[in-house]
Structure 1
Amino acid sequence: MLPTPGAALLFDIDGTLADTDPIHLEAFNAVFARYGHQFDRARFVRELQGLANIDIARNFLPEMSAEDGMAVLDEKEAAFRALAATEIHAVPGLFALLDMADAAGIAMAAVTNAPRANADLVIDALGIRSRFKALVIGAELPHSKPHPLPYLEGLRLLGADAALSVAFEDSRTGIASATGAGLATIGMRTGLPDADLRAAGAVLTADGYDDPALLAFIGERMNASQTA
């Protein structure tokens, strides 16, 4: 692959680089049970997946001040990190795709709504920090996902062109953010089925990064201006 200048790959982290949703679900239940909330997989996907913590606090702890609500979410994130310390596993095919992108000189970024400490934990557990030219944390921007700003910031930091780039997401919130920034987005089926990901705006879906259709799409997208 010899991509045109401006081509880039932008990855969400949770559920996209690693299948961390089951760990988040366990952490939510451990902390939120005392506030009367219990989540099964379906409710997690429907009401929590991909949301920024400030929105989760507002939705599930409305009786609390913003400061107290975020303190509860901080406790949940600490529980997640404790559980995740030995449970981080890459989505299939990830390392081969990263090797291919590095060999071709394709710029890459991670774009997430996760707190920085969580993002650091996952990226370092996978040993892939050096792969990314940028790490964008939604909570550190004026708007997080589903607003397009996190992906627009990722494109800006990479000097990338949305028309030549591809995003990878696993949630409706993330797909809305990436497509809003003009990115063709591939939905990773770690949490949602094909139909839900496509309904949210994904151009195609895959179980892993070794999917032939995913790899073909990346190649076509990144060479778009050469074949136009």
Structure 2
Amino acid sequence: MTVSSGANSVERRSFLSGLAPLEAVLFDVDGTLCDSDPLHYFTFREMLQEINFNGGVPITEKFFSEKLSGKHNEDMALVLFPNDIEGGMKFLADKEAMFRRLAPERLKAVNGLYKMKKWVEDRGLKRAAVTNAPRENAELIISILGLADFFEALIIGNDCEHPKPHPDPYLKALEAVKVSKDHTFVFEDSVTGIRAGVAAGLQVVGLTTGNPEHAMMEANPAFLIKDYNDPKLWAALEELDDNEKAGKADSLSKMNARVAAGLPVVGYSGWLQEMQSMCRWKQSLTVL
């Protein structure tokens, strides 16, 4: 699967640089932390065949990608069993149980995930997982990947007024980790998830782990990557780092000018402490 490139892609990657100073990174779970779509497809295909869905003809990957991937269980029940939602929800509960039984042996982290994890940790950024998956699934995946201590919050679509593609889960995540949408970006792998992030006013980096590139681009992500090792991602993060350093240097210069003029310095505590460590003044600070 190819990923967008060219001048337009370069221009879109610069969207991340405008987020400096970065405060947080939010992650979807299925398909974003691990490539779980093949296992979801397998469990759907097997269990739907057992009940003679579609006359016993197996569902295709295209059907799964377009109709089921990334969606909330109630929406999937409506797609599969429009005349029996209650029965559809029971089917999906059984399907999710099968997924959880198979997950420990079949799920692996998306390439480069732990490199990205270290980048986030090294910068002391806030982080949350935001998913339409059932809580049991999300907690299991996070545990399998060894990320239980990494995330500060886990937001489940079913716990929000509206799941993805509505913005509610991402808005709830911003509130949970107390950050601004103007200094946060998202990793997502589905059209549903990208739409949710964009609707929340966030920049979204899309992973092409299981969905068609053309459909994902229609949801308007900042840009697409193959995985967390993608050079395009690291070029964008380097530009973001450079922009943040330039902003701090400019702020430091202005602070020193205020101190030299005998004027007070006002700001937020954590940011001011960092600035203080970089400069020569040790006067009392007015902290917001």
Fold shared, TM-score > 0.5 on shorter chain: yes
Distance in 1 (CA, whole Å) between partners of 2:52 and 2:204 is 36
Question: Unaligned regions of 5+ residues in structure 1, if any?
Answer: none
Equivalent residues in 2 for 1:117-132, closer than 5 Å: 117-132=136-151
Contact 1:145–1:174 (8 Å) recurs in 2 = yes
CA RMSD of aligned residues (A): 2.0
Equivalent residues in 2 for 1:25-174, closer than 5 Å: 25-33=41-49, 34-37=51-54, 38-64=58-84, 66-174=85-193
Matched, 1:7 2:23: yes
Residues 123-145 of structure 1: CA deviation (Å, up to 9, x unaligned): 00000111111100001111100
TM-score where L is the length of structure 2: 0.73
More displaced 10-residue stretch of structure 1: 110-119 or 25-34: 25-34
Matched, 1:17 2:33: yes
Shift in Å, 1:185: 0.5
Q: Secondary structure at the match of 1:90?
A: coil
The amino acid of 2:27's aligned partner reads F
Distance in 1 (CA, whole Å) between partners of 2:61 and 2:240 is 34
Contact 1:186–1:205 (8 Å) recurs in 2 = yes
Contact 1:110–1:135 (8 Å) recurs in 2 = yes
Contact 1:113–1:138 (8 Å) recurs in 2 = yes
- The percent of aligned pairs where both chains have the same amino acid is 39
The amino acid of 1:226's aligned partner reads G
Contact 2:43–2:98 (8 Å) recurs in 1 = yes
TM-score where L is the length of structure 1: 0.92
Distance in 1 (CA, whole Å) between partners of 2:53 and 2:66 is 18
Q: Is the radius of gyration larger for structure 1 or structure 2? A: 2
Distance in 2 (CA, whole Å) between partners of 1:147 and 1:120 is 22
Shift in Å, 1:36: 1.2
Distance in 2 (CA, whole Å) between partners of 1:42 and 1:54 is 20
Contact 2:67–2:79 (8 Å) recurs in 1 = no
Residues 102-156 of structure 1: CA deviation (Å, up to 9, x unaligned): 1110111100000011001110000011111110000111110000000111111
Residues 85-117 of structure 1: CA deviation (Å, up to 9, x unaligned): 211101111001101111110111100000011
Distance in 1 (CA, whole Å) between partners of 2:20 and 2:178 is 12
Shift in Å, 1:216: 3.1
Q: After the TM superposition, which segments of 4 or more aligned residues of structure 1 sit over 4 Å from their partners?
A: 3-6, 219-225
Distance in 2 (CA, whole Å) between partners of 1:42 and 1:121 is 27
Question: Unaligned regions of 5+ residues in structure 2, if any?
Answer: 1-18, 251-288
Q: Secondary structure at the match of 1:166?
A: strand
Distance in 2 (CA, whole Å) between partners of 1:134 and 1:48 is 25
